[in-house]
Amino acid sequence: MKPLRNLMDKIGEATKGNRFAHTVYDGIETFLFAPNHTTRTSGGVHIKDGIDLKRTMFHVVIALQLCFIHGLVNIGHQHYLALGMFPDIADGILEKAIYGLIQILPIVIIVHIVGLGIEFFYAARKGHSIEEGFLVSGMLIPLIMPPDVPLWMVSVATAFAVIIGKEAFGGTGMNILNVALTARVFIFFAYPTYISGDTCWVAYDYSFLHEVVNSLLPGDFLQIGAGTAVVDGFSGATPLALAAQGGMEAVYTKYSSVDLLLGFIPGSIGEVNKLGVIAGVGILILTGIGSWRIMLSMVLGLAFMSGLFNMFAADFPDAPFLTVPFYNHMMMGSFLFAMAFMATDPVTAAQTNVGKVIYGFLIGAVGLIVRVANPAYPEGWMLAILLLNVLAPLIDHYVIDANINRRLKRAESKL
């Protein structure tokens, strides 16, 4: 590594006169090497650690990899299933993976080109180092999108999220809204037909890239043209859409509990596989990156509100969604993904321990209210998290204020 270190030092010296070039160099240098500076000890005792913000973000990216891998396979599985081909999950697994990779890779590339391009621009303009926050956002944005979302729409949503959702507040560490969710909520309100309904959750067609890659592979590997139309009876309906119409009985007519757990069902790219998300939860908790208080309290908030709905479900026979128990709500849609990777964002979440419990509980409760009360959009976690992002500083304020008052009363009682 020493020759590379020497080379990077020479490049760093050569780029010092060019603000933009040095910003690019700084981003590459901090990607390759751990920080070589430590806190000064003259002011007292400090904790020294080799981990920095970029490596903290890498932990989250690593925790997302199972969701990413499953997502690309599931894109291909749903595609071939719609065309009446490879009905079993193991059938044509390589074709499914290649199809899905070609479908998701352009989304990831577009998100990073647009997002990092804006980050580089603002870093060079301000004359400071590139901020690392987009490492996670750049992976989350593709995973919470439908597989067939237009690339131009993703680029517009990413630009909006980075500029309005983060840079307008001062950059990484200053934003009050989760950047990835801001991108999704932009598409939801600006182009609702592309992120709701049944057709957007399955990629039916072959793109130009699929045709190019297929021409480079032996034979008609991806079997382009083998399925000319969607087979009769196929539906891209998600479990949430079915539950809103007929409760869990409607869901089980199409999907089993194993289907919900393994996630070979229509849905957002990275949110459907619950085992992959649970593995990511374990990584975040063991590394201390994600707050277990937020995750646990979010589950409790969901269970509390679901219990209330179940109690009054008999009074509303036309609302079968009220009968769904909380554990089924966890297995459908994006609850677990939102709990693990969205609600625990250390920048936009509550900071105090008590505040984290309140914050997570309210997300679980409010998110379920939105899901059940609004069948047209049964994914309430996006709106709930963004709402609590705004309220998080207020929650912390009252928690700290209550702690101060409690200590004052204790001190006064001893006088």
Reported as a single tens digit per residue, the pLDDT across 320-346 is 889 999 999 999 989 999 999 999 998
Residue 218: strand, helix, or coil: coil
Residue 148: strand, helix, or coil: coil
CA angle, 118 then 122 then 124, to 5°:
115
Q: What percentage of the chain carries pLDDT values higher than 90?
A: 50
- Angstrom distance (rounded) from CA 334 to CA 332: 7
**pLDDT bucket at 15, cuts 50 / 70 / 90:** low
Q: Report pLDDT for 12.
A: 62
Q: Report pLDDT for 30.
A: 61
Q: Report pLDDT for 234.
A: 77
Give tens-digit pLDDT for 360-377: 999 999 999 999 887 666
Is the model's pLDDT at 22 over the cut of 60?
no
| Helices 53-63 & 65-82 angle (0-180, nearest 10) | 40
Is the model's pLDDT at 6 over the cut of 70?
no
Q: Report pLDDT for 32.
A: 57
Among candidate residues 199, 190, 144, 195, the one with its CA nearest the CA of residue 164: 190
What mean pLDDT do residues 40-52 have? 53
Q: Report pLDDT for 238.
A: 87
Q: Report pLDDT for 28.
A: 62
- Angstrom distance (rounded) from CA 176 to CA 56: 19
Q: Report pLDDT for 24.
A: 59
Give tens-digit pLDDT for 273-316: 999 999 999 999 998 888 999 999 999 999 999 999 999 988 88
Q: Report pLDDT for 317.
A: 86
Q: Report pLDDT for 346.
A: 87
Q: Report pLDDT for 403.
A: 92
Contacts of 58 (CB under 8 A, 6+ apart): 135
Contacts of 284 (CB under 8 A, 6+ apart): 59, 60, 63, 290, 340, 341, 344
Residue 24: strand, helix, or coil: helix
Kindly report which listed range (1-15, 180-194, 260-274) carries the lowest average pLDDT score: 1-15
What mean pLDDT do residues 184-189 have? 91
- Angstrom distance (rounded) from CA 36 to CA 120: 22
Q: What percentage of the chain carries pLDDT values higher than 70?
A: 84
User: Mean pLDDT in the chain?
Assistant: 85
Is the model's pLDDT at 169 over the cut of 90?
no
Q: Report pLDDT for 230.
A: 82
Contact 362, 388 (CB under 8 A): yes
- Angstrom distance (rounded) from CA 369 to CA 352: 25
Q: Report pLDDT for 375.
A: 66
Tokens of 268: 């957002």
Start-to-end C-alpha separation, the chain = 63
Domain spans of the chain, in order of start: 2-32, 53-221+235-402
- Angstrom distance (rounded) from CA 348 to CA 338: 13
